[in-house]
Amino acid sequence: MKTAGTLKESLGSGLGKTKEKLGKVPNYIWFLTAFVIVALTILAIFFPSFLSQLTNRLLQPFPQAQKENVATPAEPRIVPLATGKQIYNISGGTKGGPLMTQAVIDPLDPKSSQIQTFTLKANNLKPIVEIKAIVITDNEEKVNYLKLVSGTSTDGVWQGSWRITDDYDYTYQISLIAKNNEDIESKTTLTFR
C-alpha cells in the first residue's frame, strides 16, 4: 500500500517528466497553438454562427449525400387572343425590298376548320411578284400565297384565305415574305402566341 509521501513522489516524478517533454516542444508550436486558441475565441465571440458551421463540418467525417434537385416542369399557359378581325401596322423591311405596311386578319381566332382571310398592304418601287404567308401553329407550318386584289404591283392590296387545321394553343405566328422582280425580299413575322 502506497503512503501519501510515496504518492506525492510518484506524481512529482510524473510531472517532472511532463515538464521535460513540454520543454522540448519548439516555440513555433506554442505560438501556433496560442494563435489557434485566440482565433477560435474571437470567432466564438464575434461570429458564433460561423464557428458553429465550422464545428459541424469538422465533426462530420463523411460528406452527406446531396439530395437531387429535381424541378417540376411548369404547365404551359395559354395566352388569350383577341377575337374577330384584327388590324396590325407593320414597319421596317429590307432596303430596296417590298415594304409591308398593314395586315388585316379576319378572324384572328378561327375555330377548327374555319376559313381565315389575310389581307396585306404592300408597296415597292419595283413590281412585287410574290407574297407568301407561312402560318405556324403548334404542329404545322403551312405556306399560303397571297394574290393582288386591288391597286398595282408597286402599291397594292394582297389577299389570301386558308383553313386553320391545327391547334394554336402555344404557337401561333404568321411569317410574311414579299419579293420584288429583282429578287429582293422583305421578311416580317407577326407573333400572336
Q: What is the CATH number for 128?
A: 2.60.40.1930
Query: Mean pLDDT by 10-residue block, N- to C-terminus, for the chain (193 residues)?
Result: 55 57 73 83 73 69 64 76 93 90 95 92 96 95 96 96 90 95 94 90
Residues 104 and 174 in one domain: yes
Tens digits of residue pLDDT in 52-108: 776 777 666 655 666 676 777 777 778 788 899 999 999 888 899 999 999 999 999
Q: Judge whether 74 lies within some domain.
A: no
Residues 54 and 90 in one domain: no
Distances (CA, A) of 184 to 63, 97, 126: 64, 5, 10
Q: Judge whether 133 lies within some domain.
A: yes
Amino acid 65: pLDDT: 63
Domain of residue 46 covers 4-59
The domain total for the chain is 2
Q: Judge whether 35 lies within some domain.
A: yes
Amino acid 94: pLDDT: 87
Amino acid 60: pLDDT: 67
Q: At what angle do helices 27-46 and 48-59 cross, to 10 degrees?
A: 120
DSSP assignment letter at 140: -
What's this model's pTM, rounded to 2 decimal places?
0.61
Neighbours of 25 (CB within 10 A): 10
Residue 107: asked if its preceding bond is cis (omega within 30°), the reply is yes
If you search the block for the grid coordinates 377575337, which residue do you land on?
A: 83
Decide: helix, strand or coil at residue 179: strand
Residues 139 and 179 in one domain: yes
Residues 48 and 141 in one domain: no
Residues 168 and 107 in one domain: yes
